[in-house]
Structure 1
Amino acid sequence: MSLIPDLPDPANVLVCGASQGIGLALCAALLARDDVRQVWAASRQATGSSGLAALAEQYGGRLLRVDCDARHEQSLAGLAREISATWQHLHLVISTLGILQEDGAQAEKSLAQLDLAGLQASFASNTFAPVLLLKHLLPLLRKQPATFAALSARVGSIGDNHLGGWYSYRASKAALNQLLHTASIELKRLNSASTVLLLHPGTTDTQLSQPFQANVPAERLFTPAFAAQCILEQVARHGPAHSGTFWAWDGQPVEW
């Protein structure tokens, strides 16, 4: 199966949030494919990541590591300039950016636990960083085909929210869904072969989910490698006709 629908040539790919967890597993899966020419791995500490260093040793120049703090727009602009100096087009961009309980963000259980700093931290990483990444990469996505996929979360679904809690995380993911759905409409006008996807990877054994794994059945706690495989399967299955939609790891649509 082609990496993305109607891909004519080996792909140039960017993974943002690449130094650990699902992002690192995606880099490994992409580099193992014959239809991927180049993988750009961006994160705050990409050049210091032991996992990315091991992949660089194995795959050489096919992996390029770039330090980029996606919370800062100047850093995103610099990332776009660096890629543009080598390539005129990206076929696939995957954003794994997101936090739950770090950098001041919290998994709030009640209104009383809300504070402005926590809300701002959640939105900075979960909402603003991915859409500003897309903004700065837009010149590299104007040719055909091009897919921009971002990890969202089922808890960001308003229609599926029956338990409450996790105010800032839920809201920041819901806002991400709206921003990228809107962006998909603009991008379609610029490139009819473009696709923007929101993807729920399932509960994955990563640093983000570790404090909340106690009640997750073993068969529903995925390895990063399995989550990466599922993400790439959804990217391959959903093309321009599905742009602006929200899918779970198993190919089921997620309601807004």
Structure 2
Amino acid sequence: MTHPATPSPLFGRPYKALVLGARGAIGHAFVEAFQADANCIHVEVISRSVNGFDLLDAESIRQQAAICQAAGPFEVIIDATGALTIEGVGPEKSLASLREDALLRNFQVNAIGPILAIRHFAPLLASGRSIYAKLSARVGSISENTKGGWYGYRAAKAALNMLLQTAAIELQRKNPELRVVALQPGTVRSELSKVFSSSVPHLLEPAESVAGMWSALQSLQAKSGAHYVDNTGEQISW
């Protein structure tokens, strides 16, 4: 049986958290972790099944942020949305398998929707020490791409990383203590990774991944721009 991760107190004080994509494996594990932490006085849960939240609908994103405003401000916002297989189309293995519609949808789900979420949810962050973290992927690293393939997913995650970096620079002009983070969760046992994880020697349970990411988030120092880290706290090259 998997037990929820128990995070240490955020900067040693009570806090509120908000989780986007709270019904996915990692999002749900984040919710459980916050609920298990006595210092977390409230966790706001946002997902398609609970709230009708639609990452592909800009108005839905705006409306959900407006609804959540009354429960804020939040010291921590986690965006655990994302998809590897979209409408039945998985990662491409070659140039010959590229499809325009699949590439566009990959960018909509994994880059455009998330940056619109930052646009509308970032104003709900508390002033001072706070975190806005978005699940990214190591395959979004341009410098670490040595295998090729996975065109749409790689490119969308690389675009997401640039968008996070750009948003961090802007948001930190008002709040230098804000940490904006691109998070690599590791290969986690979930529906997202199910088809592609047979060759992975050790799959992380969602709670295990979240415990590592939460520890990494709390150890990050304030800096100009975004952080790009994995579930062990290791910095990833952009």
64, 67, 80: which one aligns with 2:65: 80
**What SS class does the counterpart of residue 115 from structure 2 fall into?**
helix
Gaps of 5+ in 2: 1-6
**What SS class does the counterpart of residue 223 from structure 2 fall into?**
helix
Range with bigger deviation, 66-75 or 25-34: 66-75
TM-score in terms of structure 1 length: 0.86
- Residue 225, structure 1, aligned to residue 207, structure 2: yes
CA contact (8 A) 1:197 1:243 kept: no
104, 110, 135: which one aligns with 1:151: 135
Aligned residue identity for 1:167: Y
CA deviations 1:36-91 (Å, max 9, x no partner) are 01111111112xxxxxxxxxxxxxxxxxxx3311221111111111111333x111
Aligned residue identity for 2:219: R
Structure 2 vs 1, CA of residues 128 and 41 (structure 1 numbering), >3 Å: closer, same or farther?
Answer: same
- Residue 235, structure 1, aligned to residue 220, structure 2: no
**What SS class does the counterpart of residue 71 from structure 2 fall into?**
coil
**What SS class does the counterpart of residue 158 from structure 1 fall into?**
coil
Aligned residue identity for 2:177: A
Cα distance in 2 for residues equivalent to 1:139 and 1:166? 34
CA contact (8 A) 2:169 2:224 kept: no
Gaps of 5+ in 1: 47-65
Cα distance in 2 for residues equivalent to 1:175 and 1:227? 24
Partner of 1:189: 173
Partner of 2:191: 207
CA contact (8 A) 2:29 2:207 kept: yes
Structure 2 vs 1, CA of residues 150 and 106 (structure 1 numbering), >3 Å: closer, same or farther?
Answer: same
Aligned residue identity for 2:91: A
Aligned residue identity for 1:14: L
**Percent identical:** 36
Structure 2 vs 1, CA of residues 207 and 184 (structure 1 numbering), >3 Å: closer, same or farther?
Answer: same
Cα distance in 1 for residues equivalent to 2:61 and 2:12? 26
Cα distance in 2 for residues equivalent to 1:3 and 1:76? 29
- Residue 29, structure 1, aligned to residue 13, structure 2: no
CA deviations 1:80-115 (Å, max 9, x no partner) are 11111333x111111111111123543000111111
Question: How much has 1:234 moved relative to structure 2?
Answer: 1.2
CA contact (8 A) 1:196 1:243 kept: yes
- Residue 118, structure 1, aligned to residue 109, structure 2: no
Range with bigger deviation, 70-79 or 137-146: 137-146
